[in-house]
Amino acid sequence: RAKAPSNFIRQIVDRDLAAGKNDGRVHTRFPPEPNGYLHVGHAKSICLNFGLAEDYGGKCNLRFDDTNPDKESVEYTESIQEDVHWLGFDWEDRLFFASDYFDQLYEYAEILIRDGKAYVDSLTAEQIREYRGTLSEPGRDSPYRDRPVEENLDLFRRMRAGEFAEGEHVLRAKIDMASPNINMRDPAIYRIKHKPHHRTDDKWCIYPMYDYTHCLSDAIEGVTHSLCTLEFEDHRALYDWFLEQLPVPSRPEQTEFARLNLDYTITSKRKLNELVTEGHVAGWDDPRMPTIIGMRRRGFTPAAIRDFCERIGMTKNDTRIDMAVLETCTREDLDRTAPRAMAVLNPLKVVIENYPEDESETLEAVNHPYDESQGRRQVPFGREIYIERDDFMEDPPKKFFRLGPGREVRLRYAYFITCTDVIKDDNGEVVELRCSYDPATRGGDAPDGRKVKGTIHWVSAEHAVPAEVRLYDRLFTVPKPEADKERDWKSFINPDACVVMDKALLEPALALAPAEKRYQFERLGYFCADRKDHAREHPVFNRIVTLRDSWAK
Ligand code: ATP
Ligand code: MG
Ligand code: MG
């Protein structure tokens, strides 16, 4: 992998290295909360953290930020690991869980209490909110703020021992109720939660808060550069405060970057969860979803996603990225790598009347137009073929270079054919074409030098394999479904984001494709054999992207 171009984060790393900080180490981490599946926004963070470590000869940890037993599960920790690997990154032996530090974090909390820097508050959650004040109004001290150290220690130990109900007490840092930064107004460090945890089971009934846990976990792991999204900018003072108060083994620094917002989709776990639970999509891995498993199932490649994350770069202010950027990266990758094949999505039968009855032949086709190493294949051809219904017009305009009555086109890798007759059913619907072919044009060129403007794809009727082809498109019809205050964002779901073509026909080689194999179906787009549903007896392909950007009108 080529080293990524510089950006403001790399400049910070360069500056730190030049200044001799951290003994020249670069150590990052990707810290997901295991409360859902990863999405394309997380991919940006993964590429940033693992990419930085790779380029600087450093290390990157995978750390689960598992401090809230309410929404977390082993299912999510497993899927997240699989997604990171699939994207092409590896944490080696550095898989960590914040919950592994619960003992240490508890010890640190007792230190804060003993130093008079934390206290047990017995106000209700609502009172605490009231006392906190607002941006324009300072907070007020809790009546429990000056509890003696011994009483705080006793209460905190009893909180741990399970003597109190949820919400009865919290442990708070004692910082400054008048701070202009609300995060510094005595934030909670521990809350009571009588819930078993997916790793520590019922060992704990108090759980540390995110802001307290995160900086300490970074310090325990020797992380040097703790990269997070912009909404944590106002939390940085708190991040530093904890590290300054406690005897931590290292001194990480937090730097914020803009989160990825992608047009025509959403990147919020909560909202994606809503789509799944309300049945708007078939699951987390629905190919319309911007989750990593959804994108994987659709057929997006790890290389294209990594390239995308690199191209969008790192900024300090929130921007929206056009979905077309991801699609372009995907087309570029697949153009280079995907073998070509022929499939007809909406078939129209063609009988070549002057082709000998009961005969067939095989024609040679190149698998890739400029990658010779992909070789060649044999494609069967016969008297009856299917072409795309859209490739015929009974009364075509001048610029229509495909088939029409009396017109001649080239069949890809095969012959020139001319339409001699159009057969219709009782409703006037075209059901079949009669054509003649020119045997001298085998392979696609006429010895007499005559030209045809159009080349169309086809499959042999006798050999074609029936298949289901799912045409996926963008999940929403508008770039920012969340921006409209009048309408529910879900009312912008694109009803045509999945169109199933269940009468599609494939050239026979495609039925043998292994799951997840990607192809360019000539003239149609890039397609991927579905991970779950594709089988030799019932081939299923997903459209990843069209060949051109049809949205940019
Ligand atoms: P969500 O809001 O979707 O729940 P999150 O930030 O709560 O996302 P985490 O599991 O905490 O999800 O995220 C793990 C890491 O991924 C964090 O460091 C977070 O900053 C980063 N991340 C999450 N969403 C994005 C995004 N859209 N763009 C860039 N980084 C992101
Ligand atoms: Mg988070
Ligand atoms: Mg979240």
- CATH number of the domain at 372, please: 2.40.240.10
Is there an atom of ligand 1 within 6 Å of 34 CB?
A: no
Cα angle: 211, vertex 215, 216; to 5 degrees: 110
Report the alpha-carbon distance of residue 223 to residue 215 in Å, rounded.
Answer: 9
Structure tokens at 127: 């009172």
Catalytic: 450?
Answer: no
The atom of ligand 1 lying closest to the CA of 259 is 28
Ligand closest to Cα of 231 equals 1
Q: Are residues 372 and 430 in the same domain?
A: yes
Could you identify the residue written with the tokens 């992909």? 374
Structure tokens at 280: 């708007």
Residue-level pLDDT at 1 = 65
User: Is 65 assigned a ligand-binding role in the annotation?
Assistant: yes
pLDDT per residue over 421-447, tens digit each?
999 999 999 999 999 999 999 999 999
Over its C-alpha atoms, the chain yields an Rg (Å, rounded) of 31
DSSP conformation letters of 287-356:
TTS-BHHHHHHHT--HHHHHHHHHHH---SS-EEE-HHHHHHHHHHHHHHHPPEE-EESSEEEEEETTSP
Is there an atom of ligand 1 within 6 Å of 290 CB?
A: no
User: Is 383 assigned a ligand-binding role in the annotation?
Assistant: no
Report the alpha-carbon distance of residue 537 to residue 512 in Å, rounded.
Answer: 9
Counting ligand 1 atoms within 8 A of each CB, the residue from 40, 87, 215, 229 with the most, and so the one to mutate, is: 229
Query: In the predicted model, what is the mean pLDDT of residues 513-521?
Result: 98
Is residue 246 in some structural domain? Answer: yes
**CATH (domain of 526):** 1.10.1160.10
Query: In the predicted model, what is the mean pLDDT of residues 130-153?
Result: 97
pLDDT per residue over 154-169, tens digit each?
999 999 999 999 999 9
Could you identify the residue written with the tokens 């701070």? 179
The DSSP 8-state label assigned to residue 514 in this structure reads: P
The atom of ligand 1 lying closest to the CA of 227 is 18
Ligand closest to Cα of 228 equals 1
Is there an atom of ligand 1 within 6 Å of 32 CB?
A: yes
Is residue 16 in some structural domain? Answer: yes
Q: Are residues 94 and 139 in the same domain?
A: yes
Ligand closest to Cα of 31 equals 1
Residue with CA at minimum distance from ligand 1 atom 14: 32
Residue-level pLDDT at 319 = 83
Structure tokens at 286: 């629905």
Is there an atom of ligand 1 within 6 Å of 235 CB?
A: no
Residue-level pLDDT at 317 = 87
Is residue 462 in some structural domain? Answer: no
Find the 269 Cα to ligand 3 centroid distance in Å. 6
Q: Which of 21, 33, 311, 432 is catalytic?
A: 33
Phi, psi (rounded to 5 degrees) for 537: -80, -20
The DSSP 8-state label assigned to residue 98 in this structure reads: G
Burial class (CB in 10 A: 0-12, 13-18, 19+), 126: exposed
Query: In the predicted model, what is the mean pLDDT of residues 366-370?
Result: 97
Is residue 68 in some structural domain? Answer: yes
pLDDT per residue over 442-492, tens digit each?
999 999 999 999 999 999 999 999 999 999 999 999 999 999 999 999 999
Instruction: Assess contact for 492 and 484: CB atoms under 8 A.
Output: yes
Q: Are residues 538 and 412 in the same domain?
A: no
The atom of ligand 1 lying closest to the CA of 260 is 28
Domain that holds residue 369: 343-456
H/E stretch holding 458: strand 458-460
**Would you say residue 533 has pLDDT above 80?**
yes
Q: Are residues 91 and 232 in the same domain?
A: yes
Exposed e or buried b per residue across 213-240, where buried means at least 16 C-beta atoms within 10 angstroms of its C-beta: bbbbbbbbbbbbbbbbeeebeebbebbe
Q: Which of 193, 227, 257 is the last residue of a domain?
A: 257
Report the alpha-carbon distance of residue 530 to residue 442 in Å, rounded.
Answer: 34
Is residue 508 in some structural domain? Answer: no
Report the alpha-carbon distance of residue 140 to residue 100 in Å, rounded.
Answer: 35
Q: Are residues 70 and 211 in the same domain?
A: yes
User: Is 35 assigned a ligand-binding role in the annotation?
Assistant: yes
Structure tokens at 297: 């199932």
Catalytic: 33?
Answer: yes
**The total number of residues written for the chain in this structure:** 553
Residues in contact with 344: Cβ distance below 8 Å, sequence separation at least 6, in sequence order: 386, 387, 388, 457, 458, 459, 464, 504, 505
Is residue 25 in some structural domain? Answer: yes
H/E stretch holding 378: strand 376-382
Residues in contact with 121: Cβ distance below 8 Å, sequence separation at least 6, in sequence order: 128, 142, 144, 145, 169, 170, 171, 172, 186
H helical segments located in 69-187: 74-86, 102-114, 125-132, 149-161
Q: Are residues 323 and 400 in the same domain?
A: no
Look up the pTM and report it.
0.95
Is there an atom of ligand 1 within 6 Å of 460 CB?
A: no
Structure tokens at 486: 């009048």
Residue with CA at minimum distance from ligand 1 atom 13: 32
Nearest to 363 by CA among 440, 442, 439: 442
Structure tokens at 115: 């130093």
Is residue 444 in some structural domain? Answer: yes
Catalytic: 44?
Answer: no
Dihedral sign, CA of 273, 279, 285, 290?
negative
Report the alpha-carbon distance of residue 139 to residue 137 in Å, rounded.
Answer: 7
Structure tokens at 246: 């406690």
How far, in Å, are 24, 145, 161, 459 from residue 206 at the CA level?
A: 38, 20, 9, 65
Residue-level pLDDT at 318 = 84
Is there an atom of ligand 1 within 6 Å of 274 CB?
A: no
pLDDT per residue over 292-323, tens digit each?
999 999 999 999 999 999 999 888 988 899 99
Percent of the chain with pLDDT over 70: 99
User: In degrees to the nearest 10, what's the CA dihedral of 421, 422, 425, 429?
Assistant: 180
pLDDT per residue over 171-224, tens digit each?
999 999 999 999 999 999 999 999 999 999 999 999 999 999 999 999 999 999
- Model confidence at 549, in pLDDT bands (50, 70, 90)? confident
Q: Are residues 310 and 434 in the same domain?
A: no
Domain count across the chain: 3
- Model confidence at 553, in pLDDT bands (50, 70, 90)? very low
Instruction: Assess contact for 84 and 91: CB atoms under 8 A.
Output: yes
Q: Which of 257, 291, 314 is the last residue of a domain?
A: 257
Percent of the chain with pLDDT over 90: 95
Is there an atom of ligand 1 within 6 Å of 41 CB?
A: yes
Q: Are residues 389 and 478 in the same domain?
A: no
Residue with CA at minimum distance from ligand 1 atom 23: 42
Is residue 248 in some structural domain? Answer: yes
Q: Are residues 17 and 115 in the same domain?
A: yes
Q: Which of 259, 412, 442, 531 is catalytic?
A: 259
**CATH (domain of 127):** 3.40.50.620
Q: Are residues 237 and 99 in the same domain?
A: yes
Q: How many CA atoms lie within 13 A of 501 on its CB side?
A: 22
Instruction: Assess contact for 321 and 262: CB atoms under 8 A.
Output: yes
Instruction: Assess contact for 86 and 64: CB atoms under 8 A.
Output: no
User: Is 33 assigned a ligand-binding role in the annotation?
Assistant: yes
Is there an atom of ligand 1 within 6 Å of 31 CB?
A: yes
Is there an atom of ligand 1 within 6 Å of 268 CB?
A: yes
Phi, psi (rounded to 5 degrees) for 154: -60, -45
Report the alpha-carbon distance of residue 239 to residue 241 in Å, rounded.
Answer: 6
Residue-level pLDDT at 550 = 66
Q: Are residues 245 and 203 in the same domain?
A: yes
Q: Are residues 152 and 251 in the same domain?
A: yes
pLDDT per residue over 12-46, tens digit each?
999 999 999 999 999 999 999 999 999 999 999 99
